[in-house]
């Protein structure tokens, strides 16, 4: 037999037993000679039995009432839990505001109760607080969570979320005006809010309460673009907004109950719903980061700028001390660090790795991400010395897939290692960052092809024009001069006629290497045409140009002396320099001066040779 049914039956039997016992007692009294006859005794028994029946009915009604109340309470809690789960899922789109909805619910409920609203009205405000941000489902994550200031179109999308929220809930038969409260919670007391420009008491009281709770919750929450404000600073902001942004009476009550607001956040138990919210937050976070990196990296096709942007963005989004990007060299054998963030002090920029070596080289070869100790990485400085990377842990991901990867993205951190989840996220970021980096690399190769001489590998005239313009701008800004040197090979035609064009081409390549090796890394050597060259010396005076010419002349003389055939032909080089701003204010003027001085040098050299 069902134990519950047995217990209910026992209660019923006990209920019947009491009146029966009373009746028997009355009969017994009549036989005690107390003056009751049988009819009196029967009447007394019926009265007692009837009274106990009424008591039983009252008892049953009370049991039913309490069961109904318990059931109603359970249904109410179920309904609230459902709303909280829905609100948490919406709120989880931004990992920075996971507790925002619970805080707004708490503040709004406390405010409503303190202002004397009925329990029913308070429950309506609580419900609206939980669903306040449902309209943000219609706002794209890249707008909602961006770190910069939105555009006018993006502001319009954000401002539409109260209307969209009310429309989403339009068909839900709430017993309170939830939709109206959600639509109006961004209205302002002075009439400058949205969407309907309501003013003063035109705004529903519940919406005025929600406005204070929502702004306070937003101020003290961490956001993607700022840290949350301290409690007292948020209170001061709310106080200043009384009479303009907020209903002054609501602000007065809010300041009175502000001490009740939990300072350390609202406690949450870890349930499946919390884990689901974490999954949603991570997916949204990853989407926003990918969008941010893609937008930033695709804003330019300059390879170095793209590399530095990707390194900076990845470092900003991931919890790390530094980020470095290694790209495969043209030979495919080595990798070089082309970008590092932060870049001060320079630790890895220019560092070298061999593909296949432990650490970075192995990840570049195999295409599988890894977490390592930097001490086990085979990173070397530019001169081949092993590099000491001053971090405890490194997370390394390939830039692209397998052997087709462009290189690696390396994160560094001290104090604690990287988790598998962080490595997975870095790998996802790296896969997407590889696309703009590949585009920038292709553009750089095309640009180099358009601005490089095919025979010598030096820059060509197209590049010269851009480079000289850059130097004009730099010198105008810094006040420092720059110089150009015109170079013309002597008797080069005789080399071709005597030794052949292949020997002439080899000679041009040798001369190009000599010229490039004799200047600084940030100077430029350009093949101007045929056997003519132009050298751009950044931030170089007239004296600097003369010293460079003397060095170049010694190199060319030594080169010709080591090849008897060239000495017999009379091979050599003539040089002429011009300096900005002394010798000209534009490229044409500088080239004319440098050419004139170069030809004067050539004539002088020929005269000397004839005299000899």
CA distances from 23 to 27, 322, 407 (A): 6, 93, 100
Query: Is residue 399 within 8 Å of 434, Cβ to Cβ?
Result: yes
Residue 111 above 80 pLDDT? yes
Neighbours of 507 (CB within 10 A): 21
The mean pLDDT of 393-421, rounded to a whole number, is 86
The mean pLDDT of 227-249, rounded to a whole number, is 93
| Percentage above 70 pLDDT, the chain | 70
Angle between helices 501-517 and 492-499 (to 10 degrees): 140
pLDDT value at residue 100: 78
The mean pLDDT of 458-471, rounded to a whole number, is 87
pLDDT value at residue 439: 75
Q: What is the DSSP string of 373-430?
A: -GGGS--B-TTSPBP----SEEEEEESSSGGG--EEEEEEESSS---HHHHHHHHHHH
Name the strands in the sheet holding 532-537, side by side, starting at the edge strand that comes first in the sequence. 524-529, 532-537, 482-490, 572-580
Residue 122 above 70 pLDDT? yes
Q: Quote the radius of gyration of the chain (alpha carbons, Å).
A: 42
Comparison of pLDDT for 174 and 5, the residue scoring more? 174
∠ CA 273-278-283, nearest 5°, is: 125
Comparison of pLDDT for 383 and 213, the residue scoring more? 213
Query: Is residue 306 within 8 Å of 295, Cβ to Cβ?
Result: no
Query: Is residue 548 within 8 Å of 485, Cβ to Cβ?
Result: yes
Strand duo 572-580 + 393-398: pairing: unpaired
| Rounded Cα–Cα distance for residues 246 and 239 (Å) | 9
Q: Which two tokens stand for residue 135?
A: 């309209």
Residue 391's nearest CA partner among 410, 366, 368 is 410
| Rounded Cα–Cα distance for residues 439 and 294 (Å) | 12
Query: Is residue 91 within 8 Å of 98, Cβ to Cβ?
Result: yes
∠ CA 366-415-264, nearest 5°, is: 120
Residue 298's nearest CA partner among 483, 440, 130 is 440
∠ CA 305-309-311, nearest 5°, is: 120
Comparison of pLDDT for 226 and 571, the residue scoring more? 571
Residue 407 above 70 pLDDT? yes
Q: In this predicted model, what pLDDT tens digit does every residue of 7-61 receive, in sequence order?
A: 444 343 444 444 444 444 444 444 444 444 554 544 545 454 455 554 454 555 5
The mean pLDDT of 443-459, rounded to a whole number, is 77
Residue 289 above 70 pLDDT? no
Q: In this predicted model, what pLDDT tens digit does every residue of 321-367 receive, in sequence order?
A: 999 999 988 888 899 998 888 877 778 888 888 998 888 999 989 88
| Percentage above 90 pLDDT, the chain | 29
Strand, helix or coil at 328? strand
Comparison of pLDDT for 294 and 453, the residue scoring more? 453
Strand duo 322-328 + 482-490: pairing: unpaired
The mean pLDDT of 302-324, rounded to a whole number, is 83
pLDDT value at residue 295: 59
pLDDT value at residue 342: 86
Alpha carbon dihedral 417, 420, 421, 427, in 10-degree steps, equals: 100
Residue 423 above 60 pLDDT? yes
Residue 92 above 60 pLDDT? no
pLDDT value at residue 143: 62
Neighbours of 103 (CB within 10 A): 22
| Rounded Cα–Cα distance for residues 473 and 3 (Å) | 95
Please report which confidence band the pLDDT of residue 566 belongs to, taking 50, 70 and 90 as the band edges: confident
Instruction: Tell me, letter by letter, the H, E, C secondary structure of 145-188.
Output: CCCCCCCHHHHHHHHCHHHHHHHHCCCCCCCCCHHHHHHHCCCC
The mean pLDDT of 87-92, rounded to a whole number, is 57
pLDDT value at residue 87: 57
């Amino acid at each position: 037999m069902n134990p519950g049914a047995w217990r209910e039956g026992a209660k019923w039997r006990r209920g019947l037993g009491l009146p029966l016992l009373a009746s028997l007692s009355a009969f017994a009294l009549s036989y005690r000679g107390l003056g009751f006859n049988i009819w009196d005794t029967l009447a007394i028994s019926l009265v007692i039995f009837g009274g106990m029946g009424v008591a039983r009915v009252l008892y049953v009604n009370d049991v039913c009432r309490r069961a109904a109340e318990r059931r109603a309470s359970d249904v109410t809690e179920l309904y609230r839990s459902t709303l909280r789960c829905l609100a948490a899922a919406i709120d989880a789109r931004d990992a920075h505001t996971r507790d925002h909805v619970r805080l707004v619910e708490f503040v709004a409920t406390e405010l409503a109760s303190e202002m004397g609203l009925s329990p029913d009205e308070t429950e309506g405000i609580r419900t609206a607080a939980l669903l306040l941000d449902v309209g943000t489902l219609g706002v794209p994550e890249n707008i909602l969570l961006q770190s910069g200031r939105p555009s006018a179109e993006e502001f319009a999308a954000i401002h539409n979320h109260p209307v969209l929220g009310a429309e989403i809930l339009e068909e839900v038969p709430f017993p309170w005006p939830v939709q109206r409260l959600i639509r109006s919670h961004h209205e302002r007391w002075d009439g400058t809010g949205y969407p309907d420009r309501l003013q003063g008491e035109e705004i529903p009281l519940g919406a005025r309460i929600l406005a204070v709770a929502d702004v306070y919750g937003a101020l003290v929450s961490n956001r993607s673009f700022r840290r949350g404000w301290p409690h007292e600073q948020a209170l001061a902001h709310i106080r200043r907004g009384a009479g303009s942004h907020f209903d002054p009476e609501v602000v007065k009550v809010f300041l009175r109950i502000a001490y009740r607001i939990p300072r350390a956040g609202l406690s949450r138990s870890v349930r499946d719903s919390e884990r689901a919210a974490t999954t949603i937050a991570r997916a949204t976070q990853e989407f926003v980061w990918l969008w941010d990196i893609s937008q930033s990296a695709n804003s330019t096709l300059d390879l170095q700028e793209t590399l530095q942007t990707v390194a900076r963005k990845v470092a900003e989004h991931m919890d790390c001390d530094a980020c470095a990007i290694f790209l495969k060299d043209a030979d495919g054998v080595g990798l070089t660090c082309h970008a590092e963030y932060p870049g001060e002090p320079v630790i890895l920029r220019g560092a070298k790795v061999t593909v296949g070596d432990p650490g970075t080289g192995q990840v570049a070869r195999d295409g599988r991400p890894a977490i390592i100790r930097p001490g086990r990485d085979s990173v070397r400085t530019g001169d081949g010395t092993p590099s000491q990377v001053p971090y405890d842990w490194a997370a390394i991901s390939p830039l692209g897939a397998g052997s087709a990867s462009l290189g690696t993205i390396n994160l560094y951190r001290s104090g604690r290692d990287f988790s598998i989840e962080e490595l997975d996220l870095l790998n996802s970021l790296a896969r997407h960052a590889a696309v703009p980096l590949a585009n920038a690399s292709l553009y750089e190769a095309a640009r180099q092809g358009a601005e490089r001489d095919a025979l010598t590998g030096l820059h060509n005239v197209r590049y010269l024009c851009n480079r000289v313009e850059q130097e004009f701008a730099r010198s105008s800004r810094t006040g420092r001069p720059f110089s150009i040197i015109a170079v013309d090979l002597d008797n080069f035609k005789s080399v071709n006629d005597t030794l052949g064009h292949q020997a002439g081409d080899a000679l041009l390549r040798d001369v190009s290497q000599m010229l490039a090796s004799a200047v600084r890394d940030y100077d430029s050597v350009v093949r101007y045409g045929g056997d003519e060259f132009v050298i751009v010396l950044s931030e170089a005076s007239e004296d600097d140009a003369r010293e460079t010419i003397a060095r170049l002349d010694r190199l060319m003389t030594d080169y010709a002396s080591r090849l008897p055939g060239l000495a017999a032909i009379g091979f050599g080089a003539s040089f002429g320099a011009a300096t900005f701003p002394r010798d000209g204010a534009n490229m044409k003027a500088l080239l004319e001066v440098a050419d004139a001085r170069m030809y004067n040098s050539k004539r002088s050299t020929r005269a000397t040779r004839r005299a000899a």
